[in-house]
Amino acid sequence: MFKRLAAAAVTAVLIAGLGACSRGSDVHDDGTDYSVDVGQDSGSVAEEPQPDAATTADAGVFGLRDEIRHRAARTTRATRPHMTKKCTTTTRRVKHTTSTGSGTKRHTRTWYSTEQAKTCKQVRSGTETYTRIVRPEQWCVSLDDVGGDTTQDDVWYQVSRTTYNTAIATDEHTRMDFTPMGSGC
């Protein structure tokens, strides 16, 4: 079937090209509803370029922008132990010795000094209240026709703030390519 279609397309192009030689450069072929430009290479059939698989994988996802949503961070008040640093200073006696001479003329001198050491540790000292983040701030974009599949509509993706700002600036049903930070929203 493909061979028949290709042969028919080549035949139509050749007939239109031969007929154009006598009538001019832009010719409407009466046998079809298509206009033929004989200034171009008339032996090839034009096809729509397909996106490269390598660039599609690097781009993440693509589709038509549907809706956008900003979800503010959800927080709550919580309590936790209040930790403080408690330090103690300790002293210890250190013995020092030096020797001079050798054999029977050897003389050893000994003296002591006091060194201080500071040790610190965290200890609990009551409780404190703080703001706990239940859900971080999220920027979301919904796409239709994800990956060119017309059955995948209203798919939500979490995106960066810059991608979200780009989505705000574009019209609905405009193609968007981005790398999502997460799915769902």
- pLDDT tens, 6-43? 666 666 655 655 555 544 433 333 333 333 333 344 44
Which pair of tokens denotes residue 176? 């968007």
Same domain, 95 and 111: yes
Lowest mean pLDDT among 52-61, 79-88, 99-108: 52-61
Q: Across the chain, what does the average pLDDT equal?
A: 76
- Report the pLDDT value the prediction gives residue 75, as an integer from 0 to 100: 94
Residue 138: HSE in the Cβ half-sphere, 13 Å Cα cutoff? 19
Maximum pairwise Cα distance, the chain:
130
Same domain, 110 and 87: yes
Range of the domain at 68: 53-72+137-183
Q: Is residue 126 part of a domain?
A: yes
Is the pLDDT assigned to residue 58 strictly greater than 60?
Answer: no
- Report the pLDDT value the prediction gives residue 10, as an integer from 0 to 100: 64
With CA atoms as reference, report the closest residue to 183 among 144, 154, 157, 146.
157
- Between 49 and 107, the more confident residue is 107
Q: Is residue 116 part of a domain?
A: yes
Residue 64: HSE in the Cβ half-sphere, 13 Å Cα cutoff? 13
Same domain, 28 and 106: no
> What's the pLDDT tens digit per position in 128-182?
999 999 999 999 998 888 888 878 788 889 999 998 999 888 888 888 888 888 8
